[in-house]
Amino acid sequence: MTSTQTSPLAFLKGHGTENDFVIVPDADNAVDLPAAAVARLCDRRAGIGGDGLLHVVRSAAHPEARGMADEAEWFMDYRNADGSVAEMCGNGVRVFARYLQYAGHVTAGEVAVATRGGVKRVHLDKDGSVTVSMGRALLPEDGVTVTVDGRSWPARNVNMGNPHAVAFVESLDHAGNLFTEPPYSPAEVYPDGVNIEFVADRGPRHVAMRVHERGAAETRSCGTGACAVAVATARRDGADPALTGNPVTYTVDVLGGTLIITEHPDGEIEMTGPAVIVAEGTIDPSWLADGEIETVND
């Protein structure tokens, strides 16, 4: 059964290259977070504000993660800012790992995090940066055409556990207003929606991007998006590590900072960047009641 939340709910706020998140610690998976409540928490005017929400749950306590509990103690139950469920978030998993360290659940070094996109291996560096093994990219052959203000570009289909469409442009200004989703066709390529990245060259192995994230509009950064951009750029540049036998590293500038992406010949992709916890507190239970957040009782 469920009962309305009557006690304050603990939360934290964190960001990775200014991709920011509300963090809700809930080891036993006792808090039910319906989509409307998540959207309320992520609202930048009426709530705490964030590009998404990190629900921190022990893998053994969550039905979607129990199969990964032997590999990873903690599950990142990630939600987009509109409350929809997402497979993965690259910046989010770095912030998630930083929270585990902040809360004393892990120390600097290696930590495994369960996600809907599989178990991710994270290294918490002593210098404050966080490196995540993001897995391998899938490159479906079907792509789309993205259109903004009368200009159109082909976009490469890259899947990083979540879907991306990567378009190369001469100027990031061509991306226009990314608070609304740019139209793309054929729409059936992405039946569940897509993250759309616009990419401009900055120098050798150096690009910059803007992104419209599915369920969150334009964000200051997108970790899986930066990985998708590096993969698509390596193919464009003829630097596919599987063909050359050498790892390739790209610097990817996002609006909120810089991420370093390395793809290895076996296809494994590593992302390195910052992750910061900036605040913690509690949420007023009366406000929670209005937001329909519930605790689950056995």
Does residue 135 sit within a domain?
A: no
Note down the domain range covering 224.
144-271
Q: Count CB atoms within 10 A of the CB of residue 142.
A: 9
Q: Which residues contact 181 (CB under 8 A, 6 or more apart)?
A: 193, 196, 212, 214, 217
Residues 43, 70: one domain?
Answer: yes
The confidence score (pLDDT) of residue 276 equals 96
Please, where are the H alpha helices in 119-239?
223-236
Residues 102, 180: one domain?
Answer: no
Do residues 57 and 74 make contact, with C-beta atoms less than 8 angstroms apart?
yes
Residues 35, 114: one domain?
Answer: yes
The percent of residues in the chain predicted with pLDDT above 90, rounded, is 88
The confidence score (pLDDT) of residue 52 equals 95
* 42 catalytically annotated: no
Report how many domains make up the chain.
Answer: 2
Which value, to the nearest 10 degrees, does the dihedral of the CA atoms of residues 33, 18, 111, 71 take?
40
User: What is the residue whose two structure tokens read 């003829």?
Assistant: 238
Do residues 117 and 87 make contact, with C-beta atoms less than 8 angstroms apart?
yes
Q: Does the annotation place 116 within a ligand binding site?
A: no
Do residues 113 and 99 make contact, with C-beta atoms less than 8 angstroms apart?
no
Please state whether the predicted TM-score (pTM) of the whole model is above 0.85.
yes
Residues 115, 22: one domain?
Answer: yes
Does residue 28 sit within a domain?
A: yes
Residues 115, 207: one domain?
Answer: no
Task: State the catalytic residue, choosing from 22, 48, 144, 222.
Answer: 222
Whichever domain contains 48, its CATH number is: 3.10.310.10
Task: State the catalytic residue, choosing from 89, 160, 209, 252.
Answer: 89
How do residues 106-130 score in pLDDT, each as one tens digit? 998 999 999 999 999 999 998 889 9
Q: Does the annotation place 213 within a ligand binding site?
A: yes
* 227 catalytically annotated: no
Does residue 134 sit within a domain?
A: no
Residues 153, 262: one domain?
Answer: yes
286 vs 52 pLDDT, higher one: 52
Does residue 136 sit within a domain?
A: no
How do residues 183-236 score in pLDDT, each as one tens digit? 999 999 999 999 999 999 999 999 999 999 998 889 999 999 999 999 999 999
Comparing C-alpha atoms, which of 261, 228, 213, 266 is closest to residue 140?
Answer: 228
Do residues 271 and 259 make contact, with C-beta atoms less than 8 angstroms apart?
yes
The percent of residues in the chain predicted with pLDDT above 70, rounded, is 95
